[in-house]
Amino acid sequence: MCGEWQVLIRRACVVLEFDTSSYHYKSCRPDQAPLAARIKAICETRVRHGYRRVDVLLRREGWHVNQKRIRRSTMS
């Protein structure tokens, strides 16, 4: 928007009632795509395993992840 309309970022954020800190935010969260792919692969090969068993298998492979993240991934 700022490039097309030749408006300063601060001015555009004021007009849109949007914080400039939110505009400049860069996430420092690591990428979860490899983990999600591995959970999906485990769930496809071992259909009857629940999230607790998937957690055990992931820990044996070296993934140390919270069970809530695994449960959310296995439900979808």
Together in a domain, 39 and 76: yes
6 — pLDDT class (breaks 50, 70, 90): confident
Q: What separation in angstroms does the CA of 3 have from each of 8, 27, 63?
A: 9, 23, 43
For 8, the enclosing helix (H) or strand (E) is none
Tell me: pLDDT of 10 over 80: yes
SS3 per residue for 20-57: HHHHCCCCCCCCCHHHHHHHHHHHHHCCCCCHHHHHHH
Number of domains in the chain: 2
Q: Which residues contact 18 (CB under 8 A, 6 or more apart)?
A: 12
pLDDT digits (tens, 9 = 90+) for 60-74: 999 999 999 999 988
pLDDT digits (tens, 9 = 90+) for 35-55: 999 999 999 999 999 999 999
Together in a domain, 40 and 72: yes
Span 21-28, average pLDDT: 92
Together in a domain, 4 and 37: no
Together in a domain, 21 and 57: no
Together in a domain, 35 and 25: no
In this structure, the number of other CB atoms found within 10 A of the CB of residue 60 comes to: 8
Please give the residue range of the domain that contains residue 16. 1-30
